[in-house]
Structure 1
Amino acid sequence: MVLLELFISFLKIGFTSFGGVSMVPLINSEMLSHGWMNAQEVSDIVAIAEMTPGPLGMNSSTFAGIRVAGIPGAIIAMLGILFPTLTIGFAAVVFFQKFRKSSIMKKMLYGIRPAGIGLVFATMFTLGLSNYMPDGAFDPVSIIIGVLIALLIWKKDTSVPKTIAIAAVMGLLLVR
């Protein structure tokens, strides 16, 4: 039963998100609504999925699937997240010429882009609360790490892998 629920959950995520960070709120919602993880665990899964080579959706589904139902859960969750992409990709190949010049498709994308940005900001807020206020009060060490990493990215144009490594070292050194 859990494997079917995992497949359906990640199938929904695959069909209703647009890849990358836009999947995070949906993954968060599914994990919390089924009671498979708490917000901190979802945050940890997303952080690990971002550090691991490969697409965020694949990595998140794999880690979440393993957490919920072991190796079979990982396989089922991956199949769930991949099925929509493969289906839509195949359909796009078949109808590519028609979609490319469609004014309806252009109008749909015009509405979808701002919604994707809104999802990213909502995710930042939700994950920010769990990371910067884990016990209901601001965690100064987390805030310092977050600000320093943001400055490295904005001012020094530091790559994502380097910032992740720096943040991990800072966490090891600053958190007891």
Structure 2
Amino acid sequence: MATTSSGRQDARDRDGEGRARNARPRDGLGRPLPYGADGVARQPEGVLRTPEDTVAEAQELLDAGRPFHAHEVFEDAWKSGPDEERALWRGLAQLAVGLTHAARGNVTGGARLLRRGAVGVAEWAAQLGQWSPYGMDLADLADWARRLADVVEETGASVDAAARAPRLRGRSRGAL
């Protein structure tokens, strides 16, 4: 238990700099597990990557059924990238976290975030006229997200994150 600057006891986990950080292990979809349980390795935060490395690492995580972790990779790019690209990376992070919620069985949250991410990447692409930044097909990604949101709402069931993961470069999986 840590002590706050006011001298109160604080039961929250904290990192080396005193920021609140949940140290509980996590499963592949980012859900906290009990202390002491075996979890998956956490995605390091604040990593500076090239845009190409961001896309490649996020795709590996999506293919492995770990969209929560892909979201964290996109979030690093969103927070550290150039101002004119922040909306792109935020939209991609929303797509990944939408897939996370859909895989967890959160129908409403999954569909909502998938649609929000689709709007975000489409608006960014339309505004800047860049539908294929870093080899990504943003029109296809937005279409994938809208179609998956429809499927999630229609079935009300959780999805297999790896099987439903988008292709960031090239065409996304056809039939949902």
Fold shared by both chains (TM-score > 0.5): no
TM-score (norm 2): 0.31
Higher relative CO (CA 8 A, sep ≥ 6), structure 1 or 2? 1
* Structure with the larger helix share: 1
Structure 1 or 2, whichever has the larger Rg, is 1
TM-score (norm 1): 0.31
